[in-house]
């Protein structure tokens, strides 16, 4: 069953670095249109900045051109969602609030992340939104 999801940068980068694993499997499912990833300007900018870090490029088996091609293919499957309001769910890392705001604006069912601890402690509760790892998401 297709789900509307937000793919955290940690998952996207894990998929780039490792040719195997659940992050890569999730990315593949998005590329095959099994799931619909959401993206916003803030998430796009974060994907772009992190994927260009020297430490990521050194760890990635793909060339810069291959990374660019993969990211462009992924972006083409994403639904761009404008976020006009700020919920400020107030997670411990203020920089992660935009993920929850994007999920709410796009009516996502899940945020897929490797940083569960950082996103699960919000001051506001959103029962319709699940924050899970790639492993938990793919088990269902």
pLDDT in tens, 105-136: 999 999 999 988 777 666 667 778 899 999 99
Q: Which residues neighbour 31 within 8 Å (Cβ) at sequence distance 6 or greater?
A: 73, 74, 77
The 3-state DSSP class for residue 30 equals: helix
In contact, 110 and 131? CB cutoff 8 Å: yes
| Mean pLDDT score across all residues of the chain | 90
What pLDDT, on a 0 to 100 scale, did the predictor assign at position 97? 83
The rounded percent of the chain whose pLDDT value lies above 90 is 73
Architecture of domain 4-139: 3-Layer(aba) Sandwich (3.40)
What pLDDT, on a 0 to 100 scale, did the predictor assign at position 88? 67
User: Edge to edge, what strands does the sheet with 79-80 contain?
Assistant: 79-80, 36-39, 4-7, 110-112, 130-132
Q: What φ, ψ does residue 92 adopt, rounded to 5°? A: -55, -40
Tell me, rounded to whole angstroms, the distance of Cα 120 from its chain centroid.
Answer: 15
């Amino acid at each position: 069953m297709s789900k509307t999801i937000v793919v955290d940068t940690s998952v996207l980068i894990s998929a780039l670095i490792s040719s195997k694993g659940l992050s890569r499997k999730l990315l593949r499912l998005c590329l095959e249109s099994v799931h619909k990833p959401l993206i916003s300007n803030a998430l796009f900018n974060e994907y772009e900045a992190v994927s260009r870090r020297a430490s990521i490029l050194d760890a990635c088996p793909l060339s810069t051109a291959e990374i660019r091609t993969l990211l462009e293919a992924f972006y083409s499957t994403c639904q761009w969602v404008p976020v006009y309001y700020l919920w400020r769910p107030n997670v411990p890392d203020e920089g992660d609030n935009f993920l929850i705001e994007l999920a709410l604006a796009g009516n996502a069912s899940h945020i897929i992340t490797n940083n569960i601890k950082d996103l699960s402690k919000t001051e506001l509760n959103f029962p319709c939104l699940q924050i899970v790892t790639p492993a938990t998401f793919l088990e269902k």
